[in-house]
Amino acid sequence: MKADKANGKGFSIVACSEGAKSLDGKQVVAKVIEDSADSIRLGGVGAVVADQLERLTGSEARATTLGHIQRGGTPTAHDRVLSSRYGYAAVELCMQGKFGRMVALQGDEIVDVSLEDVIGQKTKNVDPNGELVTLAKAMGVCFGD
């Protein structure tokens, strides 16, 4: 961010997930809901990061929490029906004990596909010196290095 400012860029954008963890492994918890299967509700990490950035850079930092609409747009009727089809097919796979598979759309049909066929057996790493990473860095994306 300091380099951006020194190079005349008037702003920087930092994005983080509400599930982001600090170096000590802790997450920011917005609230705890008793008697819930998932009692911890994460939230507020943006404000924490903004405060830390202000301390570290001496520049103003603002946190904005994007909702579902800003992240992906208003769902259409097609989106809603398709997501229901995916969900139904995924539950059916679970009920049939077919694990290690995912649902996909092929043409107009919902099908199940082996995860092994999709991702293979090996981890697919991104080349840190590859074209896409180089492009992202040239556009100002920071990977924490």
**Residue listed under structure tokens 């994306």:** 141
The predicted structure's pLDDT at residue 69: 65
The predicted structure's pLDDT at residue 105: 96
Mean pLDDT per 10-residue section of the chain, whose length is 145 residues: 82 86 90 89 92 91 81 84 96 94 96 89 82 88 79
What is the number of other CB atoms lying within 10 angstroms of the CB of residue 12? 16
Q: Where are the domains of the chain?
A: 1-65, 73-145
Per-residue burial over 98-108, b if 16 or more Cβ lie within 10 Å, else e, is: eeebbbeeeee
Sequence-separated (6 or more) residues with CB below 8 Å from residue 19: 27, 42
The predicted structure's pLDDT at residue 110: 98
The predicted structure's pLDDT at residue 36: 85
Distance CA 111, CA 102 (A): 8
CATH fold, domain 73-145, is Rossmann fold (3.40.50)
